Structure 1
Amino acid sequence: MASRTLPKLRQVVLNDVFTQAFEQARQKPLDLTHNQQVARLYRKSLRVLLSWSIHRKTFNEEATTLRARFDEARGCSPAKAARLLREGHEELLEFTHPDPYCLPPMPGGSKHMRYSPLPREICFTDGNYPADAPDYYINPDWSICKPETGKSAIGSVLVDFGKKNME
């Protein structure tokens, strides 16, 4: 009987270890003020609107309507503001495009890592780097790594190809 419980115990421990490693690598959510939450909701709403709009003129008209909706709720009571924010997130989730547009060099884009730079060690096997050779590395989101750590300036980057974004 003890042999039957041992594999389950190992599985639980391994799952726990992997969960802990994932939580350490994942960026922690920030505690945002109400104004920051509203600003992020507005920007995300504009991105979702851009995914649905074909022409720039249509996007500008709809963006003006969206801005008017945000402006008319300005200065309301905190309880109503919390309710409107929750409803805004629900509406954003409802109208999210099933296949949103993403920039070609970003994860999920058609040019993602198409011409990724080779490491310097491969280009210059003898170790003699030219004076004008770049001495930095590029992250998956094409931002330059911090020189002291060799990693992204914002921490570890996990690329979610299903959502076509980075966490």
Structure 2
Amino acid sequence: MPAIRPQTLNDVFQQAANQARQKLPELTHNQQVARLYRKSLKVLSSWAIDRDIFNDEATKIRARFDQARGCKPEKAIRLLREAEDEIFAYTHPDPYCNPVMPGGSKFMRNPPLPMDVCFPDGNYPADAPKYEINPDWSKATPENGKAATGYVLVDFGKKNME
């Protein structure tokens, strides 16, 4: 009779996480190709600094996508897999991001002081802004367009906000 292995705490946590994890929607082939094309342009923008070089290379990428348009489904699946491998191989180790966004070179550089620090008596000048400036974009404000309340998770490894 085989021995029954008792469940460890890690197994229980894995089961709970699997139940809570949302299933990703199944994408159509056109959606996969569109996302692949967009990702290839983003990878290209990390490598090509000059706009003329970027435009030339983007034209070549578009020509490769157009050349494979309308092929048989078996070939399309193979091309999609090969293109994903190629993008993975060409992924930049330090991808470009907007300088003022998390991970950028100007992120949180010289943030403005709060109004009550500048004017402790509460006599604000007439031309002072009526809203609180949020320099790190960690909260939902009209400037950053975030609809969530509270703090936003900043992933410095991927250089984006979630």
Normalised to the residue count of structure 2, the TM-score between the two structures is: 0.66
1:61 alignment partner AA: D
1:40 alignment partner AA: R
Report deviation, 1:165.
2.9
Equivalent position SS for 1:86: helix
Higher helix content, 1 or 2: 1
Mapped to 2, the partners of 1:28 and 1:134 lie a distance apart of: 40
Give yes or no for the alignment of 1:64 onto 2:65: no
Is the contact between residue 105 and residue 111 of structure 1 (CA under 8 Å) also seen in structure 2? yes
Report deviation, 1:100.
1.4
Give yes or no for the alignment of 1:91 onto 2:90: no
Mapped to 1, the partners of 2:92 and 2:63 lie a distance apart of: 22
Using a 3 Å threshold, how does the CA distance of structure 1 residues 83 and 144 change in structure 2: closer, same or farther? same
Using a 3 Å threshold, how does the CA distance of structure 1 residues 60 and 143 change in structure 2: closer, same or farther? same
1:59 alignment partner AA: F
Report deviation, 1:50.
1.4
In structure 1, what is the equivalent of residue 130 of structure 2? 133
Give yes or no for the alignment of 1:16 onto 2:13: yes
Write out aligned runs for 1:102-117 (5 A). Answer: 102-114=97-109
Equivalent position SS for 2:33: helix
1:144 alignment partner AA: G
Using a 3 Å threshold, how does the CA distance of structure 1 residues 86 and 108 change in structure 2: closer, same or farther? same
In structure 2, what is the equivalent of residue 145 of structure 1? 146
Report deviation, 1:135.
8.0
State the identity as a percent. Answer: 55
Query: How many matched pairs?
Result: 147
Deviations 1:54-73 (A, max 9, x none): 32111111111110000001
In structure 2, what is the equivalent of residue 49 of structure 1? 44
Using a 3 Å threshold, how does the CA distance of structure 1 residues 135 and 63 change in structure 2: closer, same or farther? same
Using a 3 Å threshold, how does the CA distance of structure 1 residues 51 and 120 change in structure 2: closer, same or farther? same
Normalised to the residue count of structure 1, the TM-score between the two structures is: 0.64
Query: 5+ residue gaps in structure 2?
Result: 1-6, 121-128
Mapped to 2, the partners of 1:96 and 1:144 lie a distance apart of: 29
Mapped to 2, the partners of 1:109 and 1:41 lie a distance apart of: 25
Deviations 1:45-91 (A, max 9, x none): 11111111132111111111110000001111112111111111100
Report deviation, 1:34.
1.4
**Greater relative CO (CA pairs within 8 A, separation 6+):** 1
Report deviation, 1:31.
2.9
Report deviation, 1:118.
7.8
Deviations 1:81-126 (A, max 9, x none): 1111111110000001111111112221112244667889999x9x
